[in-house]
Amino acid sequence: MTDGNTELTYLYDGTFEGFLCCIYDSYVHKEVPTRIDTEDGMPMLFEATKWIKTDWNHAQSIYASLAKKIGMEAQEFLRDAFLSNAPNKEIYMYHYICMGYKLGRKIFDYLTDPTVDYLVKAVKNVNRECQKYLGFIRFTQYGDVMVACITPKNRVLPRLAPHFENRFPDSSFLIYDKTHKMAVVKRPEGMVITSMEKLTLPTISDEEQAYRRLWKCFLKNIAIEERTNPKCQMNLMPKRYWKDMDEDMLSEYKDGDLLRKIEGNA
């Protein structure tokens, strides 16, 4: 039990199940955390911290209660929100769930509430990044395996994996998330998402080089010179995506001044 003056931080293992256990413990112990953070989060001065152990059964009961007390959509919404990189998403999700338990389905219509709004925008951000990566991911063929590397802000792998599994049902592939050091590995026997400290790749084949050249040739010729609009291009395909793409966009902009000018305006 905490007295009203102490800040209480819950620490958990960073998994969705672990987060759900924070909700469970808060209800069982009738306490209200002011912060929910992962174990590697910085401990703050003057706050009590409590380590929340992940218990699969506790997580399961909270997860089921989301559908029962709020609505089926709440499960998906919160799973997506959890993928977000929005600061302090956990405490917002905590408040959302408390509100949802009281309001039920009505919470979906409370779009101007600051907590709901914060999470709706976070999920929108996740959706936008997923949509971009569905198109911008580039696979390189290494023998029988296709490999792609990405540098996303949000944890998009759980959302991207089913799309590519469905698209290439008979192929093996690996998508490596450099930001979060995670990978989805798909083999004929199944697909897993796992943590991966490092990924070292062999040099690419001549055939691969040839197709990259053909792709660049296509991109160069498909643009209409008279309509050149690098600012529009960069708005729709922000530069942070470029480094993981085969297009080698930077070399397209040999004129460094132009690039700087566009960035200055952006």
Partner 1 sequence: MDVMDKLAILTDAAKYDVACTSSGNDRSGEQGKVGNTVSSGICHSFAKDGRCVSLLKILLSNCCTYDCKYCLNRSSNDVRRATFTPREIAELTMNFYRRNYIEGLFLSSAVLSSPDHTMELMIQAISILRNEYRFNGYIHAKAIPGADNRLVEELGLLADRMSVNIELPSQTGLEDLAPDKKPEAILKPMARITDGITENRNELAIFRHAPKFVPAGQSTQMIIGATPDSDYSILQTSEKLYKRYQLKRVFFSAYTPVVEDSRLPSIDTKPPLLREHRLYQADWLMRFYGFSANEIVDRKNPNMNLGIDPKCNWAMHHLEQFPVEINAAPYDMLLRVPGIGVNSAQRIVQARRMTKLNFDGLKRLGVVLKRARYFILCQGKMDENVKFDSDHILRALLSPADAARLPTCEGEQMRLDEWAASNLRIGGLAG
Would you count residue 117 as binding partner 1 (CB under 8 A)?
A: yes
State how far the Cα of 63 lies from the Cα of 56, in Å rounded to an integer: 10
Would you count residue 156 as binding partner 1 (CB under 8 A)?
A: no
Instruction: Choose between 53 and 213: whose C-beta lies nearer to partner 1.
Output: 213
Instruction: Choose between 60 and 235: whose C-beta lies nearer to partner 1.
Output: 235
Closest CA to 51 of 40, 59, 61: 40
DSSP letters of 84-126? ---TTHHHHHHHHHHHHHHHGGGGGG-TTSHHHHHHHHHHHHH
Report CA-CA distances (Å) from 95 to 34, 71, 101, 255, 257.
Answer: 10, 16, 10, 50, 48
State how far the Cα of 30 lies from the Cα of 35, in Å rounded to an integer: 15
Cβ neighbours of residue 197 under 8 Å, at least 6 residues apart? 181
Instruction: Choose between 61 and 233: whose C-beta lies nearer to partner 1.
Output: 233
SS3 at position 135 = helix
Smallest separation (angstroms) from partner 1 to the CB of 104: 12
Q: Binding string, 118-137, against partner 1, x = CB under 8 A?
A: -------------x--xxxx
Using CB under 8 A as the binding rule, the residues of this chain from 65 to 94 that contact partner 1 are: none
Instruction: Choose between 87 and 238: whose C-beta lies nearer to partner 1.
Output: 238
Instruction: Choose between 54 and 233: whose C-beta lies nearer to partner 1.
Output: 233
Smallest separation (angstroms) from partner 1 to the CB of 167: 5
Angle at 54 between CA 114 and CA 193, to 5 degrees: 85
For residue 42, the 8-state DSSP code is P
Smallest separation (angstroms) from partner 1 to the CB of 18: 30
Q: Binding string, 179-218, against partner 1, x = CB under 8 A?
A: --------------------------------x-xxx-xx
Report CA-CA distances (Å) from 6 to 3, 38, 49, 247, 251.
Answer: 6, 20, 10, 54, 56
Smallest separation (angstroms) from partner 1 to the CB of 63: 25
Structure tokens given for 21: 């256990």
Instruction: Choose between 30 and 254: whose C-beta lies nearer to partner 1.
Output: 254
Adjacent-strand bridge partners of 173 = 146, 186
Do residues 179 and 153 lie in contact, with contact meaning Cβ atoms separated by under 8 Å? yes
Q: Binding string, 7-46, against partner 1, x = CB under 8 A?
A: ----------------------------------------
Using CB under 8 A as the binding rule, the residues of this chain from 218 to 237 that contact partner 1 are: 218-233, 235-237
* φ, ψ dihedrals at 37, nearest 5°: -140, 165
Using CB under 8 A as the binding rule, the residues of this chain from 90 to 109 that contact partner 1 are: 106, 108-109
Number of residues that bind partner 1 (CB under 8 A): 54
State the residues that interact with partner 1 by CB under 8 A. Answer: 106, 108-112, 117, 131, 134-141, 146, 148, 163, 165-171, 211, 213-215, 217-233, 235-237, 245-247, 252
